[in-house]
Amino acid sequence: MRALRLHEIGGPQHLRIDEVAVPPITESEALVRIRAAALNHRDLFITQGLYPKIALPVTLGSDGAGEVARLGALVADLAVGDEVVIDPMLEWGDNPRVWDAAEATILGMPHAGTFAEYAAVPIDNVYRKPPPLSMDEAAAIPLAGLTAYRAVFTRGALQPGETVLITGVGGGVQTFVLLFAKHIGAQAIVTSSSDEKLKRARALGADLAINYATNPDWPKLLRATAPIDLIVDSSGGETLRKSLDAIRPGGRIVVYGGTNGDATIKMFPLFWKHVAILGTSMGSPQDFAAMLELFNQGLRPAVDRVFAFGDAPAAFDRLAAAHQFGKVVLRVD
């Protein structure tokens, strides 16, 4: 089979398509014929060496959708040919509140990932594809959709009628946060430094869109606009510091990344306003199943652009340049 593998640290230019053996499966695994796979920043960071314990060569890719090609002996509820989508969170553990830090890992390194024609996956991580979705759309969901679902609902406890601030809209996770918030009837405010991304966010239902580059005092603007019940942030740094100024008393801030580095925050608004700051990362099997159900109800992901498998370097370039709105997808078939 063909597999997109990283052979050297230093960026996506060190990826190449190799001919490798189709992976064998154990009695508790399924072999999935991958039809589409989506990129995550995790894949880009691995090519740059910004991830621990990288072992080369490695087949990247956490997101994938396709058909069941082969089943282990212990599998009874799926059949060869079924259209499926893969949960990339491996070995979460028995506690839905937090992953097993000693065992949990993610598909796509060290376990061979979805940037290949076939992937061997534990059967517990294989779910039926929501029928309304194309393969490209289904492949766009897993890691970003799972992270967003847990941030919005499991950790953030967003309720209909509340207002959520989504900082830095445009990437995969934050786009899903917007979709989920509007799906349940919440108000959504988004920020970005790109007017084009703000325009696209409004088209997806954002109630207010703010360019933080031209409105650096956006917390003051928001305090005069509406009380913010929940903030979902992946930036950290200055954005997290300003979020404390924007959140209402008793509000929640959920953080799932730190692209802007560590934050130095003011302590007074943290304790005076009784603010809860909650960390999250990926999600449990329960989160994944509940997230998929939203797409069975007619929700559709935002797919930025679909690239042919042989055009993977261009797909990585688009992700690295942060030009995307939604998910960048590779079509593997």
pLDDT of residue 49: 93
The residues near 164 (Cβ < 8 Å, ≥ 6 apart) are 152, 156, 158, 177, 181, 186, 187, 188, 189, 228, 229, 230, 231, 232
Structure tokens at 142: 């897993």
The CA distance from 38 to 24, in Å, is 23
Report in angstroms the alpha-carbon separations of 206 from 26, 119, 303, 327.
Answer: 45, 37, 17, 18
Q: Which residues of the chain does CATH 3.90.180.10 include? A: 2-141+301-331
In CATH, what is the architecture of 2-141+301-331? Alpha-Beta Complex (3.90)
Question: What is the distance, to the nearest Å, from the Cα of residue 4 to the centroid of all Cα atoms in its chain?
Answer: 20
Q: Per-residue confidence of the chain (333 residues) as pLDDT tens digits?
A: 999 999 999 999 999 999 999 999 999 999 999 999 999 999 999 999 988 889 999 999 999 999 999 999 887 789 999 999 999 999 999 999 999 999 999 999 989 999 999 999 999 999 999 999 999 999 999 999 999 999 999 999 999 999 999 999 999 999 999 999 999 999 999 999 999 999 999 999 999 999 999 999 999 999 988 899 999 999 999 999 999 999 999 999 999 998 889 989 989 999 999 999 999 999 999 999 999 999 999 899 999 999 999 999 999 999 999 989 999 999 998
pLDDT of residue 74: 82
pTM over 0.75: yes
57 preceded by a cis bond (ω within 30 of 0):
yes
Reported as a single tens digit per residue, the pLDDT across 187-246 is 999 999 999 999 999 999 999 999 999 999 999 999 988 899 999 999 999 999 999 999
CATH number listed for the domain at residues 146-279? 3.40.50.720
Q: Which residues of the chain does CATH 3.40.50.720 include? A: 146-279
DSSP state of 234: S
* 220 C-beta neighbours (distance < 10 Å), count: 13
The residues near 309 (Cβ < 8 Å, ≥ 6 apart) are 2, 4, 17, 330, 331, 332
Reported as a single tens digit per residue, the pLDDT across 294-317 is 999 989 999 999 999 999 999 999
Q: 247: number of CA atoms within 13 Å, CB side?
A: 28
The CA distance from 71 to 77, in Å, is 10
pLDDT of residue 308: 97
